[in-house]
Amino acid sequence: MNEFDRIVNSLKVHLETDKLAGIEEILQTRKESDIVHTVLFSTRKEKEAALQKLNKKAEECKACQLHGKRTNLVFGSGNPAAGLMFIGEAPGRDEDLKGEPFVGRCGQLLTKMIEAINMKRTDAYIANILKCRPPNNRPPLPDEVSACTHFVMEQIKIIQPKVICTLGKFAAQFLLNSKQPISALRGRFYDIDDFKIMPTFHPAYLLRNPADKKLVWEDLKKVRDELKRI
């Protein structure tokens, strides 16, 4: 995504989140409205309600061609007040059929990864960069990304996780605004606003390259320790 798209996207995020918070007009400075968000979405119930509202908006979204090809929207699932959020690329066939992220073979592996750090899958929040399945699981196209990413950014703003674990190159490169390969990005924390990002390999990659599971285990231990620390 180029710099212009990123700025437009970021503006969209702020405006959309303000709308969710019931603020139709932007009368405040950014700083003040940030405080409003924190106050408005501070309880699990408030976050759940805001996510439900956003989910409805995503259901109605026709900003790219993918809405016409999906069986179900795959918005996200898990704890609306999670300290840990996982972000993948886009729904696959199983996810499209069920309307839930990471439910196929990759999902089973992700569940094991979460359990390996002594958490339940339902303790975390799981989402994808794209909310609709690209045909034949092809990589997301640039116009689909710029049409959709404001949803995941709004999810992050509502949930306010402490740690975001990105799965695979796509989510890492988007959130870190980087073109580096995932092998270079993974394995360390990046401080962004009030949260930390830990990029790691995608479960689909691990299914093809099981020898690299040990690297993901190292990344997950850092996530576990960071969550304990804060």
> Cβ of residue 11: shortest distance to ligand URA, in angstroms?
26
Reference 76, options 165, 187, 195, 156; nearest CA is: 156
Among 18, 89, 144, 219, binds ligand URA (CB under 6 A): 89
> Which of residues 20 and 103 has its CB atom nearest to ligand URA in the complex?
103
Could you say whether residue 102 binds ligand URA (CB under 6 A)? yes
> Which of residues 41 and 102 has its CB atom nearest to ligand URA in the complex?
102
> Which of residues 41 and 86 has its CB atom nearest to ligand URA in the complex?
86
Could you say whether residue 96 binds ligand URA (CB under 6 A)? no
Contacts 24+ apart (CB under 8 A), 63-68: 63/147, 63/148, 64/132, 64/143, 64/144, 64/147, 64/148, 65/144, 66/130, 66/132, 66/133, 66/134, 66/144, 66/148, 67/132
> Cβ of residue 137: shortest distance to ligand URA, in angstroms?
8
> Which of residues 20 and 203 has its CB atom nearest to ligand URA in the complex?
203
Could you say whether residue 128 binds ligand URA (CB under 6 A)? yes
Among 50, 90, 158, 163, binds ligand URA (CB under 6 A): 90
DSSP codes of every residue in 125-150: EEEES-SSPPGGGPPPPHHHHHHHHH
Considering only the C-alpha atoms of the chain, give the largest distance between any 2 of them, rounded to a whole number of Å: 54
Could you say whether residue 201 binds ligand URA (CB under 6 A)? no
Considering only residues 135 to 194 of the shown chain, the ones binding ligand URA according to CB under 6 A are: none
Residues contacting 23, CB < 8 A, separation 6+:
33, 36
> Which of residues 117 and 126 has its CB atom nearest to ligand URA in the complex?
126
Q: Sheet holding 125-128: strands in order across? A: 77-78, 125-128, 84-88, 163-167, 195-200, 190-192
- Return d(Cα 150, Cα 13) in angstroms, integer: 5
> Cβ of residue 203: shortest distance to ligand URA, in angstroms?
7
Among 76, 83, 92, 161, binds ligand URA (CB under 6 A): 92
Among 106, 124, 158, 159, binds ligand URA (CB under 6 A): 106
Compute the C-alpha angle 107/109/188, nearest 5°. 105
Could you say whether residue 134 binds ligand URA (CB under 6 A)? no
Among 78, 88, 134, 140, binds ligand URA (CB under 6 A): 88
Query: For binding to ligand URA (CB under 6 A), which residues are involved?
Result: 88-92, 95, 101-102, 106, 128, 204
